[in-house]
Every structure is written in C-alpha cells, then in structure tokens.
Amino acid sequence: MEFKRVVITGIGTVNPLGNTVQEYWENLKNGVSGAAPIQKFDASKHKTQFACEVKNFDLELYMDRKDARKYDLYTQYAFASTDQAFKDSNLILEEIDCNRAGITWGAGIGGLQTFFEEVRSYNSENPRFSPFFIPKIIANMAGGLMSIKYGFRGPNFTTVTACASASHAMIEAFNMIRMGKTDIMITGGSEAGVNAAGIAGFNSMKAISTRNDDPKTASRPFDKDRDGFVMGEGSASFIFEEYERAKKRGAKIYAEVGGGGMSSDAFHMTAPDPEGRSAALVMQWALEDANLKVEDVDYINVHGTSTPLGDIAEPKAILNVFGKHAYNVSISSTKSMTGHLLGAAGAVEGLACVLAIQNSTIPPTINHFTDDSEIDNKLDFTFNVAKKREVNVAISNTFGFGGHNATLVFKKL
C-alpha cells in the first residue's frame, strides 16, 4: 500500500502562555512562565496554591454564552483553538467532502470541573443533577460537538490515555489520512483540570510541586531540586490535510507529519520504567515509521515533567536510542513554562515543535539552577535561554499514567 503524505495547514491554541499561536510563541521563545497563584477557586486549603491557568479567555469570541453553559470548560477550550486552526487553514467548508473529513481528539479527564460542581450541588440542601451532567463530563463530547459544528461525518473518536491522549489522537489522524480513509482531520487535545478536585487529587499523589513561595520557578525539569509538575490547562488544535490536496489549493503548510510511535511501559500505575525501556522503544518506532535515522533529528520536545523519577528515565531513553548523536540534539521541556496540560500536553507541545521548525528556534527549558548528578548534563537541554538553530526534524514525547507512551515526528517540508 502506498501511503499518502500528511501536512499541517492550520494551527490554533489557548494555553497558559497565550490565547493565540502568536502570543504563545512569543512567550515560549522568551522563557516566560505561565505559573501564578490560582484564580479560579480559593486554593488556600490546598498544599499547592498555584497553577498555569489560561488567562483572559474571551469565550464570546467563539460561542454564545447560552450555548457555552451546556459545555464543560475543556470543550470550550477545544472549540476556541479549533476555531483558530480552521480559520488559519483557509479551508472553505462548502468545498470539503464532509464524508471524508473527521476528528480525533485527546482528553485525559474530560469534564472534571462539571463533575465536581454537580456532586457538590447534589450534597447541598437542594440536591439535583443537571440534564447536561453526563454530556458535559464525558471526554468524547468535545470531538462530538465539533463534528456537529463543522458537519464532518468521517471518523470521530477521542483517545483517553492520560498525558499521551492528544499525541495518540494526532497519530490516529495522521494514519487516517495516509491510509486514504480521509482527506482532512481536525485533531489535538484539551484539558481543564485546574480546579479543587484536580489540585487535591494530584496533591494526594504527591505529584505536583508545592513551591507556593515562588510559583514561576516551580516547574524545574531536570533540576536537582525539582519537586513535581505544575498543573496546566488549555487546548491546541491542528488541521491535518492530505498533501496533494493542500498543495492543489495553495494552502500554507507549516510542517509535514512524518510518523508516530506508540508503546506501553507495562511497569507501574503511575511511575515510569526507571530505565526508560519503552520510552526508548516508542522513539525508535516513531523514527522507523517516518523512515528516518537518529542523525536526522534536530530537536526533541521531551515529556520532562519536573518529577523526580520521570526526569531521570527519559534522558536514559534518549541516550539509548540516539547514542553519540544525542549530544548533537537540542532538547527542551516546554512544561517548564506552560505547566503540564495532562491530556492536552501532546497537542500544545507538538505545536511547539511545529513552531520551532517554522522559526528555526529551540524554546528553552527554564528554571534550571542546579545540575542533577543522576542526569547526563552533557545533553543539550537548552537551559534558560532559547537557541537559534535550523530544525528540519523535531519529535515530541508524551508519557502517560498507566504506562502509555506516544511519540510524534514533524518534518520541515
């Protein structure tokens, strides 16, 4: 079977560093932290009182407030970034064969805020559940509602694989097009876990930073004094399109999707394999899928969560796969700035890869103060300051609870 080529012709985002792609990129390359004291609720009773929240989100740019009441915030974010991406693509809806257009979306949790609010209401003096309770919380609803909005009748499903959700969705969108099943796919991921339940749950796991005295430096990937990740929220969307179709209509092409890999740690519910064996496998398989050699890779946007164990395992996996070339590859964890967007992480970090290719710039890993002797610091982690470099091939790693691993390959066209 001869595979078709897949390119990216539209991008959009709403995340802690900006409500547009341009704003996101400016803050990303300048090393701006999105962390601050939580504004969405009173976090004073929580061990962690800060997060990377979306700021100044103007819902009415994307939907009527009456309709928005039927949607959880994770769906609202999905609509916003997808509206941006669709407009950016310059696609004309009337010229699309909607039977050959679909949506694959990623969400790790779905409507957590709705679930929390409805249960709290039920325990009040006037217990009731909204008729929108179930539609608002289920993780597939963002994709379902977007298919209604755009009239896309092709494949439509949501991947729920914790922090790898968006990456898995994007790999499946890529596969749908290259196998000739669709021509156009909306893909990406969204999450809205910055709420009392989300913060409390991750606090109980001791997974997130408690550096309340200095939120902006709390996310410290690969630093000796890291103490957990910082919660983030938001969305990123892509229009994936079959290359010949995009070329024929004169579309702007941001990058080519080269390939994808998927693996499982088969190790632990939440902890990574300390040797990074399946993290190595997923990168190997992604490069094989893209028909590339390790020497072709210029940039790795790592999972790099700022957790004690994960930040040791991933560099081991990189060295295992790339050997000596690992020292020639630029690496960065943009979670140091955006926080961890959970199910949307692969989308917003995949977007960072595409923008790195477009702008020949490696975004930094900020908040590095002290080397960790358990990490090979000869690797180029792009600490603290962005670096100008031509990027022809970039890969994005995402590793989720349950041992779910996904790696995407992006190429300059």
- Residues marked active site are found at 163, 303, 340
Beta bridge partners of 408: 260, 396
Measured distance CA(35)–CA(48) in Å, rounded: 12
Instruction: Compute CA distances 349 → 28, 130, 298, 302, 398, whole Å.
Output: 11, 35, 16, 9, 9
Strand 184-191 and strand 156-159: pairing?
unpaired
Phi, psi of 132 (to 5 degrees): -95, 5
Locate 152 and state its tokens: 């896309």
Q: Which of 339, 328, 312, 408 is nearest to 362 (CA)?
A: 328
Q: Answer for the pair 30, 192: CB distance below 8 angstroms, yes or no.
A: no
Q: Which of 231, 292, 226 is nearest to 259 (CA)?
A: 292
CA–CA separation, 98 vs 182, rounded Å?
9
Helix or strand holding residue 288 (H, E): helix 277-289
User: For helices 277-289 and 310-322, what crossing angle results, to 10°?
Assistant: 50
CB 221 within 8 A of CB 311: yes
Report in angstroms the alpha-carbon separations of 233 from 58, 82, 243, 259, 390: 15, 16, 31, 26, 30
For 155-190, give one letter per residue: b (16+ CB within 10 A) or e: bbebbbbbbbbbbbbbbbbbbbbbeeebbbbbbbbb
Residue 411 CA to residue 63 CA, distance in Å, equals 34
Beta strands in 243-374 (DSSP E): 255-264, 299-301, 330-332, 361-362
